[in-house]
Amino acid sequence: MRLLRSLLAAPLEGHGWGMPHDASLDGWRIDDLINETSVFVILLFAIMVAWMLWAVFRHGRRHTARFDHGASRRSIAVAVGIALAIFFVVDGHLFVNSILVWRNVFGNFAMAEAQPDAVRIEINAHQWAWAARYAGADGKFGTQDDIVTLNDVTVPQGVPVIFQVASIDVLHSFNIPNMRVKMDAVPGMINRVWFTPKETGQFDIGCAQHCGANHYKMRGVLTVLPLEEWKKWAAVASANSAVAYDPEDKDAQWAWSWEQHSRI
């Protein structure tokens, strides 16, 4: 019974076996591309299965085989034609939309950085937790009023949130499925990713690159607050950080220059 219910709920987002609920502004572009491609894929697969079943049942032992090498001009033209048609329609759709989506949205850091309210967060991934740093009230990273959190990222709703992601030990991958976000954290590199949260709430942050024994527990929480509430939170947190700043604690003073790595 439970199986049946799961199967029936299967494609619904967030239920059954569908994609996790999309709480971001632009995630639907990826979802749509996946689902549109699925239409083609399922169609092609169905044709293939039907073809094979028909051949096995109707052209079986009692059927006389045709003496055909399939190498006539016409035969070849049909085969090549079908292959190219599938390529241009299915692959082409995927290719063109992928480029557009990446260029206009997911890779468009210029657009994200240009927004006045954009929030910038530096993520330092390590075994096995996510350290996050905000610039604080002064807008500069590496100063006393930086907010530093562990496994806890709080962002405002409706404005771009830009991450610069790094790692100090092994490869990790910053993954927020509910926002359709994923970017590797590579030691020696600083990668970027951004998104705009559409809904408030709490969402999982996970690691999507095998990073050792506790890879499965490298879980953080993304909290999305309404914009005004977030601004209040940020102000308080920044003030507290400035007070609690400990110049002796060198380990807590990881930070890098944002501008150096936000090459547009």
Residues 9-48 that bind another protein (CB under 8 A): 10, 17-20, 29-31, 33-34, 37, 41, 44-45, 48
Give residues 189-228 in contact with another protein (rule: CB under 8 A). Answer: 189, 191-192, 203-204, 206-217, 219
Q: Which stretch binds another protein (CB under 8 A): 138-146, 153-161, 178-186, 236-244?
A: 178-186
Report how far residue 141's alpha carbon sits from residue 20's, in angstroms, rounded to the nearest whole number: 33
Q: Which stretch binds another protein (CB under 8 A): 83-91, 142-150, 228-236, 249-257?
A: 83-91
Write down the least CB distance from residue 36 to another protein, Å: 10
Give the CA distances from residue 80 to residues 74, 85, 92, 95, in Å, rounded to whole numbers and listed in that order: 10, 8, 16, 20
Which of 61, 73, 250, 263 lies at the binding interface for another protein (CB under 8 A)? Answer: 61
Work out whether 106 is an interface residue with another protein (CB under 8 A).
Answer: yes
Write down the least CB distance from residue 229 to another protein, Å: 22
The 10 Å Cβ neighbour count of residue 158 is: 15
Beta strands in 127-211 (DSSP E): 129-134, 147-150, 152-156, 161-167, 172-176, 181-185, 191-195, 201-207
Read off the tokens for 71. 């190498």
The one-letter code for the residue type at 217 is K
Give 101 or 137: the residue with its C-beta nearer to another protein.
Answer: 101
Size of the site for another protein (CB under 8 A): 90
- Spatial neighbors of 247 by CB under 8 A, at least 6 apart, are none
**Residues 121/153, Cβ–Cβ less than 8 Å:** yes
Instruction: Give bridge partners of residue 206 from the DSSP assignment.
Output: 175
Which of 28, 89, 187, 228 lies at the binding interface for another protein (CB under 8 A)? Answer: 187
Write down the least CB distance from residue 86 to another protein, Å: 6
Which of 8, 28, 39, 80 lies at the binding interface for another protein (CB under 8 A)? Answer: 80
Residue carrying the six token digits 């059927």: 63
Q: Which stretch binds another protein (CB under 8 A): 54-62, 130-138, 153-161, 241-249?
A: 54-62
Report how far residue 177's alpha carbon sits from residue 193's, in angstroms, rounded to the nearest whole number: 13
The one-letter code for the residue type at 183 is M
Read off the tokens for 8. 């029936």
Give residues 234-253 in contact with another protein (rule: CB under 8 A). Answer: none
Give 128 or 237: the residue with its C-beta nearer to another protein.
Answer: 128
Work out whether 95 is an interface residue with another protein (CB under 8 A).
Answer: yes
Give residues 136-175 in contact with another protein (rule: CB under 8 A). Answer: 169-171, 173, 175
Work out whether 255 is an interface residue with another protein (CB under 8 A).
Answer: no
Q: What are the φ/ψ torsions at residue 62 (nearest 5 degrees)?
A: -85, -10
